[in-house]
Amino acid sequence: MLPDAAYAELIGRSREDALVAACASLLEWDQETYMPPGAVDARGDQLAFLAGQLHDRASAPRIGELLAVLEGSSLLADAESASAVNVREIRRGYERQSRIPRALAEDLARTTARAQQEWAGARADNDFARFRPWLARIVALKRDEAACVGFVDSPYDALLDDYEPGARAADVARLYDAIRAELVPLIDAIIGASRQPSVEVLHRGYAIDRQQAFARSMAEAVGFDFAQGRLDLSVHPFCTRIGPGDVRLTTRYREDDLEEGLFGVLHEVGHGLYEQGLDPAHDGTPMGEAVSLGVHESQSRFWENRIGRSRAFWGFATGHARVVFAPLLDDVSPDAFHFAINHVARTPIRVRADEVTYNLHTLIRFELEVALITGALDVADVPEAWNDGYRRHLGLTPATDRDGCLQDSHWSAGLIGYFPTYTLGDVYSAQLLDAAGRDLGDLDAQIAAGEFAPLLDWLRGHVHRQGQRYTPAALVEHATGSPPDHGPLIAGLRRKYTALYDL
């Protein structure tokens, strides 16, 4: 078989796989938004069936035969070409899937479909015992997955690699050590500062329909295309891409907290902009897919924090907010609002955490996940281990499991290994902001004027349209001129909060 024919068949199979995956994504989105609760068992069977189909397709011996024809051919001479990237990443996926039994893939899909509903009920009832057997089952299945995939140092590496290719638990632990050493003194200084913001403005009672209108207007302003996407409600905010022209966002709102819904939307919009910015010419292939969850989170953290919590953004957004929420904000200046949304406090809730304390929340989850997967922590002991982590790293104890170990949906969805990507994304986002500023000039002036297109175009050229051309670390270096480095993140936080709090 000639390489050109082998490549055409390989890409055809990849695009068909993407269609099957899109069907699964649509079912998963529906489950979290509109599916009646009585359908959960049938939905689990549907998702398990599709997981089995995807597994069979991704691990089919024919894939190995096609790859054997292509590897060493002239189509791969340029390592950064679309053909070389696609073959490399399809090989990577083929090797991983070939090690995982179909029955395990199906079991994970079926179990997590039911576990997500049980988690939502357990969270609402503050009942960890209800969720505990489901979490135990998921941890056991993920341990099996790690054993099948293989690892050198830690079974957690096999799971982490699925979200951030090449990342290792030991490296992530070192990053957290370095970040924590910088953050704890900064947090102490901010909380102990004599100058503190008034956060009353965030809790005046904001009608949900007005919050929805304002959040949508901000999403449109920064570039999210609602002709190719939508925004709905869910228990836990998320973003999913069903296919070209179809990116779904969700969030949740509280009348007594303007921040939660708005910044949840900006976070998910960052994900959505990445998905809408992928090259449609490469849809259904690795060159048309995001490179990693860490880079994906760099986009969400970029728009949520680097931009959304900036003074320049609120120079633009305050006027719009006054109109939508009139007369609730008539007495509030952009400076006062900016200070309020950058209040720093030790809180038990990750999604309500400020950008300074946030990475201590993901550190706690990372430590727990490693302990669960290595067997150092039993599922029955998760609530106390969670509370202990919060006492050690944030100096507080959650009052309930609802505000503690039941607050996140990730474990019920089987996403063990995901949490470190939030911190990796935070690191990448700060580097990307610095690089964009060097290339585009006065970003603050552009943002204050509501001119977001140059910045979005920069991200699309340097990140989104690159697909999986580079490894995550190489992409960051290609886009910014430097390898991943937490220095710009810490420097940016120090600069911003020293000015705000008169440190």
d(CA 412, CA 418): 12
Token pair for 445: 């002036």
d(CA 94, CA 168): 21
d(CA 156, CA 416): 9
pLDDT score recorded for residue 87:
97
pLDDT score recorded for residue 252:
93
d(CA 271, CA 110): 26
Q: Over the stretch 70-126, which tens digit does the pLDDT of each residue have?
A: 999 999 999 999 999 999 999 999 999 999 999 999 999 999 999 999 999 999 999
> Torsions phi, psi of 257, nearest 5?
-150, 100
> Torsions phi, psi of 233, nearest 5?
-105, 145
Looking up tokens 């997967």, which residue turns up?
373
Task: Name the active-site residue from 32, 89, 106, 268.
Answer: 268
- What are the residues whose beta carbons fall under 8 Å from the beta carbon of 388, sequence distance 6 or more? none
Centroid of chain to Cα 243: 18
Answer for the pair 45, 24: CB distance below 8 angstroms, yes or no.
no
Answer for the pair 273, 222: CB distance below 8 angstroms, yes or no.
yes
pLDDT score recorded for residue 236:
84
268 is catalytic: yes
Q: Over the stretch 427-477, which tens digit does the pLDDT of each residue have?
A: 999 999 999 999 999 999 999 999 999 999 999 999 999 999 999 999 999
Answer for the pair 351, 410: CB distance below 8 angstroms, yes or no.
no
d(CA 109, CA 105): 6
Q: Over the stretch 348-365, which tens digit does the pLDDT of each residue have?
A: 999 889 999 999 999 999
Nearest to 348 by CA among 400, 424, 415, 304: 400
Which DSSP letter does residue 106 get? Answer: H
Hey, CA dihedral for 281, 57, 4, 291, is it positive or negative?
positive
> Domain segments of the chain: what residues?
3-125, 169-501
DSSP string of 46-72?
Answer: HHHHHHHHHHHHHT-HHHHHHHHHHTT
Question: Which regions in the chain score pLDDT beneath 70?
Answer: none
d(CA 466, CA 133): 42
Q: Collapse the DSSP code of 347 into the 3-class scheme (helix H, G, I; strand E, B; otherwise coil) and give the result.
A: coil
Written in H, E and C, the secondary structure of 202-261 is HHCCCCHHHHHHHHHHHHHHHCCCHHHEEEEECCCCCEEEEECCEEEEEECCECCEHHHH
d(CA 228, CA 276): 8
Q: Collapse the DSSP code of 23 into the 3-class scheme (helix H, G, I; strand E, B; otherwise coil) and give the result.
A: helix
pLDDT score recorded for residue 235:
86
Q: What amino acid occupies position 292? A: S
What percentage of the chain exceeds 70 in pLDDT?
Answer: 100
Backbone dihedral region for residue 395 (phi beyond 0: left; psi -120 to 50: alpha; all else: beta): left
Q: Is the peptide bond before 488 cis (omega within 30 degrees of 0)?
A: no
Burial class (CB in 10 A: 0-12, 13-18, 19+), 338: buried
Q: Where are the beta strands (DSSP E) in 145-196?
A: none
d(CA 177, CA 413): 28
pLDDT score recorded for residue 478:
97
CA neighbours closer than 13 Å in the CB half-sphere of residue 183: 23
Cα angle 244, 298, 458; round to 5: 70
Nearest to 450 by CA among 326, 318, 333, 335: 318
Cross-strand bridge partners of residue 246: 243
pLDDT score recorded for residue 367:
98
d(CA 234, CA 250): 6
Answer for the pair 116, 31: CB distance below 8 angstroms, yes or no.
yes
d(CA 92, CA 476): 21
Say which CATH topology domain 169-501 has: Neurolysin; domain 3 (1.10.1370)
d(CA 366, CA 176): 9
